[in-house]
Amino acid sequence: MTTKAPRTDPVAEPRSTPPEDYAAGWPAVGITFKRALDEMGMRTSAKTLLRLNKQKGIDCPGCAWPDSDHPQTIEFCENGAKHVAAEATLRRVGPAFFREHSVSELRQRSDWWLEEQGRLTEPLIKRAGSDHYEPISWDDAVGVVAEKLNSLASPDEAVFYTSGRTSNEAAFLYQLFVRAFGTNNLPDCSNMCHESSGTALKEVIGIGKGTVTLQDIEHSDLIIICGQNPGTNHPRMLLSLEKAKQNGGVIVAVNPMPEAGLLRFKNPQRAKGLLARGTALADDYLPIRLAGDQALFLGLGKLLLEAEERAPGTVLDRDFISTFTDGFEEYAGNARQASWEEIEESSGLTRGQIDGLANRIMAARSVIVAWAMGLTQHKRAVPTIREVTNVQLLRGNIGRPGAGLLPVRGHSNVQGDRTMGIYENMPAAFLDKLGAEFHFEPARGPGWDSVNAVAAMRDGHARVLISLGGNLVRAISDTNVAEKAMAKLDLTVSIATKLNRSHLVTGEVALILPTLGRTERDLQKSGLQRVTVEDSMGAVHATKGVLAPASPELRSEVAIVCGLAHRTLGERVPIAWEAMANDYSVIRDHIGHVIPGCEDYNVKIARPSGFLLPHPPRDERRFATATAKARFSVNELQTVRVPPGRLLLQTVRSHDQFNTTIYSNEDRYRGIHDSRRVVLVNPEDLAELGLADGDHVDVFSEWTDDVERCLRDYRVVAYPTSRQCAAAYFPEANVLIPLESVAEGSNTPTSKSVIIRLERHLTSSGASSSA
């Protein structure tokens, strides 16, 4: 089979136009269907897209936004359609491709070009000393993995990474295999995104998940959206925000950059959206400084306390505070003493702007605070989310309709993976139940998360990496360090649907095991199978593919994991892997015995809308913390001070991107075209730095070591971001984030607060370059 994709990467000078002031509308419709038809053709497009996010249909792999109980005919967004089109593409990557292209050559290609080549069709191996992948039988491939794992001096020399696209069934089996093998080295993509959310929320409300349902959003009086770009990363959220507006709700956007999806939404399913101006969403926009959200919420709490002192009994929910919380007095004392000078400096906002939001909170009967990685990827991310919780506790905005805490997950089943046990430090109660169910003693003690796993590879403590989906080398921070670390391994194994960078940065031996996508039929001995996923709000439902597999050689993730486990463990840990591979309902029976809230799992997922996992803070205001109450916290405010001539950088996704997957070099909402090699900087900062829009610069990261971390020859774009702040695209800018630069408590890379300097790029002749 040959690819239809271009054989050369497009090379163009970055071009910028004014950012868009709305999301969706006719452009989204046109791009959606053009992409679908180009990749899948008319018949496959109709077969997949009309079943997307429907009951008894396909759960979109593009994000973790919940499905409606009453779906419309078109129940997908532009970016979800792109994701499905990429998976269901007619393009194929067969043996001839790997004979033609060496691994060394493929390393020179862009992420976009690799994605464009199409679906992998059969197992591949890169043998020791070879620079080419070549076909290998499934039996031999599984044998290579089992032999290597069983030869290790310790199970802890192996790392088992997981992507958030993995189904609940595959995730449960994967962690079972890993723990039966003898380790808890289970890093996953959550370590790099919402780990800070889970860490903070477990401390203060007793569960690491949000407290909000879809209905709460639609009927909330006030929604504060912090560090999130729903127009690109969770476009179906815009439908819920539009409903909230129609019901009289107020929306406030808190972000260093204005995002089109929070300015105006042109709903493509309504005449008003296509023919008129659409719906204005954000009633107010607060241009927060990067890493300034903790200061903002500290200031809000301070204002609420002062208002209560002026009018006792009218501002705070005293009954909630006295009945369901502890630590109020210590928190209140700290907030009252906080300095407005430091709050304003740290947040980048004026007292008046913070006053305005506090007044909105006091006027609202119900408040939701939503956030994404704009809050989670800072050194002080965990204290920031605790501070957000403090403000919600003051007015009892947890455990009642229209109110709560909403960390919005990006990957489609990253929350389900954690529920199923994909975590390097699961509680003893989970391990006890797992061991009792399968009659073995699980590995105890913490394993490595993503950052520590890469450090272990770098330092020679790990020898094998197995990845169930994902693209770890591009997702993790400190790209150059990560690539060198992975090259030290004896064996790298990737279970994947398409080619990506992690397949080209390999150990001495490398395997690619091609798997079914979510859109494809999964036929096992007991018949067609379905799998399950959990969305951002704790709802679990089934998904079943409708397309013929891209190749007869593809195996499901479940089948691959069972095959690896059976061959590796043999009779050492006698688990009925074959029975579970043949019939996924057997897996779900086991899940029901081990995972709280999943009892009668097979019965519950047969319901049209699935089921909602129990959530004690939301359902009954019960908090499984150390004191059995929701906990106010005292969080020291540490302002990130940027030296003169420096900027604070955040990494961002483009609109034509899903995580590390690049669909094109366009970011139309931000007005960036033809290239991703740009750094967005406030015009006033550019003037102070002696630079202008269109200049070419080298972007240097500044850290405590003497390692040079640099992006070469990037075009400067004057952009309306907050002062002293800048932005560049993920994953390219990951090279600037030191591996050791992590959030306190969660170990998440600090991708939203990197101190950088810009230097004019010099050409080979020594002259400076500019557009």
Q: What are phi and psi of 269, to 5 degrees?
A: -100, 5
State yes or no: pLDDT of 496 exceeds 50: yes
Residues 462 and 319 both lie in one domain:
no
Ranges of beta strands (E only) in 515-588 are 523-524, 527-528, 531-534, 539-543
Residues in contact with 11: Cβ distance below 8 Å, sequence separation at least 6, in sequence order: none
Q: From 629, 599, 593, select the one nearest 613 (Cα to Cα).
A: 599
* φ, ψ of residue 99 in degrees (nearest 5): -70, -35
Instruction: Give yes or no: residues 566 and 698 share one domain.
Output: no
396: closest CA among 317, 486, 480? 317
Q: Is 642 inside any structural domain?
A: no
Q: What is the mean pLDDT of residues 644-666?
A: 94
The reply to whether 370 and 422 lie within a common domain is no
* Residue 629, in any domain of the structure: no
Is a pLDDT exceeding 60 seen at residue 2?
no
Q: Which of 427, 444, 381 is nearest to 745 (CA)?
A: 381
Residue 340, in any domain of the structure: yes
Do 54 and 159 share a structural domain?
A: no
Look at residue 633 and tell me if it is in a domain: no
Q: What is the CATH number of the domain that holds 280?
A: 3.40.228.10
> What percent of the chain clears pLDDT 70, i.e. is strictly above it?
97
Determine the Cα–Cα distance for residues 79 and 90; give it in Å rounded to an integer.
Answer: 19
Number of residues that this document lists for the chain = 771
Same domain, 750 and 677: yes
Chosen domain end from 360, 388, 407: 407
Residue found by looking up tokens 């954000």 in the block: 282
* Average pLDDT of the chain to the nearest whole number: 94
766, pLDDT greater than 70: no
Average pLDDT over residues 146-159: 98
Mean pLDDT, residues 596-618 = 95
Q: Terminus-to-terminus CA distance in the chain, angstroms?
A: 41
Q: What is the model's pLDDT at position 7?
A: 43
Cα–Cα dist 165/61, whole Å: 6
Asked if pLDDT for residue 98 goes beyond 60, the answer is yes
Enter the tokens of residue 443: 């590995």
Tokens of 470: 């994902």
CATH number of the structural domain spanning residue 125 = 3.40.50.740
Backbone angles phi, psi at 49, to 5 degrees: -65, -35
Q: Which of 477, 522, 517 is nearest to 497 (CA)?
A: 517
Range of the domain at 729: 647-760
Percent of the chain with pLDDT over 90: 84
pTM summary value? 0.95
What is the band of 3 on the pLDDT scale with cuts at 50, 70, 90? very low
260 and 300, same domain (yes or no): yes
Q: Does 610 lie in the same domain as 524?
A: yes
Between CA 165 and CA 63 the distance in angstroms is: 9
**111 with 29, same domain?**
no
Distances (CA, A) of 256 to 63, 132, 720: 23, 45, 9
Q: What is the mean pLDDT of residues 668-684?
A: 96
Residue 765 has pLDDT above 60, yes or no: no
Single out the residue in 407, 440, 467 at which a domain terminates: 407
335 domain-assigned: yes
Residues 559 and 486 in one domain: yes
Domain-embedded: residue 11:
no
Find tokens 């202008």 and name the residue.
692
106 and 63 inside one domain: no
Indicate which CATH number applies to the domain containing 663: 2.40.40.20
Query: Tell me: the pLDDT tens digits for 210-233?
Result: 999 999 999 999 999 999 998 888
* pLDDT exceeds cutoff 80 at 4: no
β-strands 222-226, 158-162: how paired?
A: unpaired
What is the pLDDT, as a whole number, of residue 694? 96
Q: What angle do CA 499, 502, 505 make, to 5 degrees?
A: 120
From the number of C-beta atoms within 10 Å of its C-beta (0-12, 13-18, 19+), residue 444 rates as: exposed
Give the pLDDT band (50/70/90) at residue 282: very high
C-alpha 120/C-alpha 177 separation (Å) is: 25
Q: Which residue has the tokens 């593809």?
A: 554
76-85, 658-667, 690-699: which has the minimum mean pLDDT?
76-85
65-88 exposure pattern, b = at least 16 Cβ within 10 A, e = fewer: bbbbeeeeeebbbbbbbbbbbbbb
Q: pLDDT per residue over 363-397, tens digit each? A: 999 999 999 999 999 999 999 999 999 999 999 99
pLDDT confidence of residue 362 = 98
User: Of the residues 407, 427, 460, which one is the last residue of a structural domain?
Assistant: 407
How many domains does the chain contain in total? 4
Mean pLDDT of 4-12: 56
Q: Tell me whether residue 187 is in a domain.
A: no
Domain annotation covers residue 638: no
Q: Are residues 598 and 513 in the same domain?
A: yes
Beta carbons within 10 angstroms of residue 342's beta carbon: 15
Measured distance CA(742)–CA(739) in Å, rounded: 7
Residue appearing with tokens 């195996």: 555
623, 594 contact by CB (below 8 A):
no
Each residue's pLDDT tens digit, 234-248: 888 999 999 999 999
Residues 587 and 495 reside in one and the same domain: yes
- pLDDT surpasses 50 at 771: no
